[in-house]
Chains A and B, each alone.
Chain A
Amino acid sequence: MNLLESVRMSWRAITGHRLRSVLTVLGVVIGVGSVITFVTLGASLQAAVIGDVASSSPEIGVTVGPTGQQGPPGTSSVPVFTEHDIDQLRAIEHVDTVVPRGSVGVSSLVYENQTIAWDSVTATTPAQFDSETFKNGESFEDGTEEAVLNPAAATMFDENISVGDSLTIRLGENRSRTVTVVGVLNASGSGGFGGPPQPAIYVPTDSFYTTTVERPANGEEQRAYPQLTIRAASYDRVADVEPVAENYLVNESDASQLKPTSYEISLLTNDALVDQIQELLGTFTSFITGIAVISLLVGAIGIANMMLVSVTERTREIGIMKAVGATRRDIVQLFLIESVVLGVIGSVLGTLVGLAGGYAVARFLEFPVAFAPEWFAVAVLVGIGVGVIAGIYPAWDAARTDPIDALRHE
Chain B
Amino acid sequence: MRSVCRKRCRFSRPVKPSIINRRDVKGRAVSETESDAETDADAELAMPAVSLQAVRKSYEMGGETIHALDGVDLDIERGSYTAVMGPSGSGKSTLMNVVGCLDTPTEGVVEIDGIDVTGLSDAERTRIRGEEIGFVFQTFNLMPQQTARENVELPMTFQGVGREKRRERATDLLEQVGLGNRLDHRPNELSGGQRQRVAIARALANDPAIILADEPTGNLDSETEREILELFEALNAAGNTLLVVTHERSVAEHAERVVHLFDGELERIEEITNRRVAGGEQ
Contacts and interface: CB of A to CB of B under 8 A. Distances in A.
18 contacts: A1-B157, A12-B145, A13-B145, A317-B143, A321-B158, A322-B129, A323-B102, A323-B135, A324-B129, A324-B158, A325-B131, A325-B158, A325-B159, A326-B130, A327-B126, A327-B127, A328-B122, A328-B123
A191 interface: no
A365 B221 CA distance: 73
B171 interface: no
A325 B160 contact: no
B206 A325 contact: yes
Contacts of A330: 158
Nearest to A319: B141
A5 interface: yes
Nearest to B141: A320
B202 interface: yes
Interface residues of B, number: 28
A325 B145 contact: no
Contacts of B137: 407
Contacts of A194: none
B103 interface: yes
Nearest to A15: B145
B155 A324 contact: yes
Given A1-B158, A324-B202, A404-B102, A16 B145 contact: yes
Given A1-B160, A324-B205, 15 more contacts: A9-B157, A16-B145, A317-B143, A320-B142, A321-B143, A321-B158, A324-B158, A325-B126, A325-B129, A325-B159, A325-B206, A328-B126, A403-B102, A404-B97, A407-B137
Interface of B: 97, 100, 102-103, 122-123, 126-127, 129-131, 135, 137, 141-146, 154-155, 157-160, 202, 205-206
Nearest to B100: A323
Nearest to B214: A407
A317 B202 CA distance: 15
A295 to B, nearest CB: 31
B154 to A, nearest CB: 5
A327 B141 contact: no
Contact of B154 (A16, A316, A324): A324
A55 interface: no
Contacts of A218: none
A114 interface: no
